[in-house]
């Protein structure tokens, strides 16, 4: 029991438990409460010099005492979320081979064709309800990290538990190790994955087909979340499998929902209607297209024709403004390629298009230069500037830059956290437009109802509910998202919205309870030690 993190209580085993379970002499004599243990852990974390040291220390806790790990996170969510997830998880993935201690998920490799279902059955839990899977192709804004991308599914599922109360034993992180095109990793002796180029074409497609079929067979009640796949595969995988299995892509749909929620909240400050917004996306990959599509859907829901709604979204990629006539455009960009002269400079694009909101989803740090922000401020009394790329090192600009270059008029949000900014005697607390506000609550609603499919309307509902959770005192500080300390309440509210949709659309596999909120709350995991004797 001392070596199984799911059973271990460490020094919290009582005297009776120690005698009955044969643990006498195997533990120090003093018996500590779970709370006392948690206080010792958080004190130890605060003594560490760097966030990556804190990440490693927390991993060690998870590997020996799962309940204590979650107790520490539950009690200190605002302080520790940046450690277990972005931005620190990015650094952890980059050095994953150096800090690797113990596998906390499944690795399914390019050589495992024909036996993927067998590998899934090796997982010790039979009732898996949430799977987060990556192929490591596009980890945050860091690029191809291959098998070292496992830190992302592990981190995401940690947030499912901490933010939305999904039981950790129901969660399964998976990395599809299809190789890596990162030559530096392939030549690194500490790399834990297959040191070979990535699978492509039919070999890749066949592996994914077998994987999805195996998930349906072995874990038929599981929600499958695609995470950090490359732009060249993410859209196609979502299109191919969304009607075959209960699944979604967080980079496309989750990012879209959190960004749309930020727009809704920002409009409570600008007091402008949604239909008067013009969005300019710096970056035209999964996140940018996902946001543009969901924003378009919101305008259509409000009565606007789809063709007109798409005209409210403009894309700017590595070649400049996405316009009609560009011959190299991929299919997912074409619906947002409008008639306009080419523009290669972002600041000039802002000056000509006069967008009300500028959204950075490019992973290009410091792309929002002073001329860009000043152009936004010249075009808008309250310019909306979202630097959403993760981790912090990849943000398009900092909170201090956005506020300083706009004379404090910008409505700013970022993917990773920034400290409050003091400008001209006023304190600005920027919002963190992190997907953690969306996917845990969406997942809880899906898992609780046994939802069979995940339509886009669920993410639209999640965006509206998240915006409704922002209080006036948050907006008064410039913050368009709720504080992280409230994220469990927010996730529960989002789960209610998702569950109500599942019931209304006939997608649920359970009867609708009289009180959906109370029903969901009763299912939440709480990290309390069991009594063994």
Q: Which whole number is the average pLDDT over 387-395?
A: 91
Q: Which whole number is the average pLDDT over 510-523?
A: 97
pLDDT band, residue 72 (cuts 50/70/90): very high
Residue 533, pLDDT score: 85
Residue 228, pLDDT score: 96
Residue 327, pLDDT score: 85
Of 497, 514, 502, 508, give the one whose Cα is nearest residue 441: 497
Look over the chain and give the mean of its residue pLDDT values, rounded to a whole number.
96
Q: Which of 55, 70, 85, 96 is catalytic?
A: 85
**Contact, 233 vs 204, CB < 8 A?**
yes
pLDDT band, residue 360 (cuts 50/70/90): very high
Q: Which whole number is the average pLDDT over 395-420?
A: 95
Q: Which domains does the chain have, with CATH numbers?
A: 1-75 (1.20.1370.30), 253-436 (3.40.50.720)
Bigger pLDDT: 249 vs 327? 249
In this model, does residue 332 exceed pLDDT 90?
A: no
**Contact, 211 vs 177, CB < 8 A?**
no
**Contact, 472 vs 524, CB < 8 A?**
no
Q: Is 85 a catalytic residue?
A: yes
3-55 pLDDT tens trace: 999 999 999 999 999 999 999 999 999 999 999 999 999 999 999 999 999 99
**With the CA atoms of 115, 136, 55 and 417 taken in that order, what torsion angle do they form, in degrees rounded to the nearest 10?**
-140
pLDDT band, residue 232 (cuts 50/70/90): confident
Residue 5 tokens read as 């993190």
First-to-last alpha carbon distance for the chain, in angstroms, is 13
Q: Which whole number is the average pLDDT over 260-284?
A: 97
Percent of the chain scoring above 70 in pLDDT: 100
Q: Is 135 left (phi over 0), alpha (psi -120 to 50) or beta?
A: alpha
Residue 451, pLDDT score: 97
**Contact, 278 vs 263, CB < 8 A?**
no
Residue 262, pLDDT score: 97
What helix, strand, coil percent values describe the chain, rounded to 5? Answer: 50, 10, 40
In this model, does residue 295 exceed pLDDT 90?
A: yes
Residue 105 tokens read as 């998920």
**CB neighbours of residue 425 within 10 Å:** 5
**Contact, 422 vs 404, CB < 8 A?**
no
Q: Which whole number is the average pLDDT over 71-86?
A: 95
pTM: 0.94
Contacts with 471 (C-beta within 8 Å, 6 or more apart), sequence order: 482
Which residue do the tokens 């802002």 mark? 350
Contacts with 434 (C-beta within 8 Å, 6 or more apart), sequence order: 85, 86, 258, 390, 415, 416
Residue 37 tokens read as 């243990």
Query: What is the spatial distance between Cα 391 and Cα 253, in angstroms, rounded to a whole number?
Result: 19
Q: Is 529 a catalytic residue?
A: no
Q: Which of 55, 70, 96, 156 is catalytic?
A: 156
pLDDT band, residue 391 (cuts 50/70/90): confident
């Amino acid at each position: 029991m001392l070596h199984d993190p799911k059973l271990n209580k460490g020094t919290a085993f009582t005297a009776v438990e120690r005698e009955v379970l044969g643990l006498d002499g195997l533990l120090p004599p003093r018996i500590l409460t779970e709370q006392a243990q948690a206080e010792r852990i958080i004190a130890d974390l605060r003594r560490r010099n760097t966030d990556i040291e804190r990440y490693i220390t927390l991993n060690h806790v998870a590997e020996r005492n799962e309940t204590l790990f979650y107790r520490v996170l539950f009690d200190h969510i605002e302080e520790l979320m940046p450690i277990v997830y972005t931005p620190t998880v990015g650094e952890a993935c980059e050095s994953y081979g150096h800090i690797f201690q113990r596998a906390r998920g499944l690795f399914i490799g390019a050589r495992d064709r024909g036996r993927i279902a067998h590998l899934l059955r090796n997982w010790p839990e039979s009732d898996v309800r949430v799977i987060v899977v990556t192929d490591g192709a596009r980890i945050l804004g860091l690029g191809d990290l291959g098998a070292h991308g496992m830190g992302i599914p592990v981190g995401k599922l940690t947030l499912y538990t901490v933010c939305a109360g999904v039981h950790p034993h129901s969660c399964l992180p998976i990395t599809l190790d299809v190789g890596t095109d990162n030559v530096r990793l392939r030549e690194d002796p500490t790399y834990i994955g297959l040191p070979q180029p990535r699978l492509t074409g039919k070999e890749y497609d066949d592996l994914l087909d077998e994987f999805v079929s195996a998930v349906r067979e072995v874990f038929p009640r599981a929600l499958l979340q695609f995470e950090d796949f490359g732009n060249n595969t993410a859209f196609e995988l979502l299109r191919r499998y969304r009607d075959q299995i209960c699944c979604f892509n967080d980079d496309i749909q989750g990012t879209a929902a959190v960004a749309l929620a930020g727009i809704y909240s920002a409009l409570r400050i600008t007091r402008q209607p949604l239909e008067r917004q013009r969005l300019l996306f710096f970056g035209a990959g999964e996140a940018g297209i996902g946001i543009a599509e969901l924003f378009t859907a919101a305008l259509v829901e409000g009565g606007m024709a789809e063709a007109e709604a798409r005209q409210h979204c403009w894309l700017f990629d590595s070649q400049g403004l996405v316009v009609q006539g560009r011959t190299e455009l991929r299919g997912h960009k074409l619906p947002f390629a409008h008639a306009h002269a080419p523009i290669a400079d972002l600041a000039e694009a802002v000056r000509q298009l006069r967008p009300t909101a500028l959204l950075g989803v490019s992973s290009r740090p410091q792309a929002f230069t002073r001329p860009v922000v000043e152009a936004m401020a010249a075009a808008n009394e309250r310019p909306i500037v979202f630097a959403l790329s993760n981790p912090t090192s990849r943000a398009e600009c900092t909170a201090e830059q956005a506020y300083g270059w706009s004379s404090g008029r910008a409505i700013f949000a970022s993917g990773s956290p920034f400290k409050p900014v003091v400008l001209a005697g006023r304190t600005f607390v920027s919002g963190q437009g992190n997907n953690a506000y969306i996917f845990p609550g969406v997942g809880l609603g899906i898992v609780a109802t046994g939802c069979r499919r995940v339509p886009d309307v669920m993410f639209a509902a999640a965006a509206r509910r998240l915006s409704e959770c922002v209080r006036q005192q948050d907006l008064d500080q410039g913050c368009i998202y709720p504080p992280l300390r409230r994220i469990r309440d927010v996730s529960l509210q989002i789960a209610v919205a998702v569950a109500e949709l599942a019931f209304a659309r006939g997608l649920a596999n359970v009867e609708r309870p009289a009180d959906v909120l109370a029903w969901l709350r009763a299912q939440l995991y709480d990290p309390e030690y069991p009594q063994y004797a």
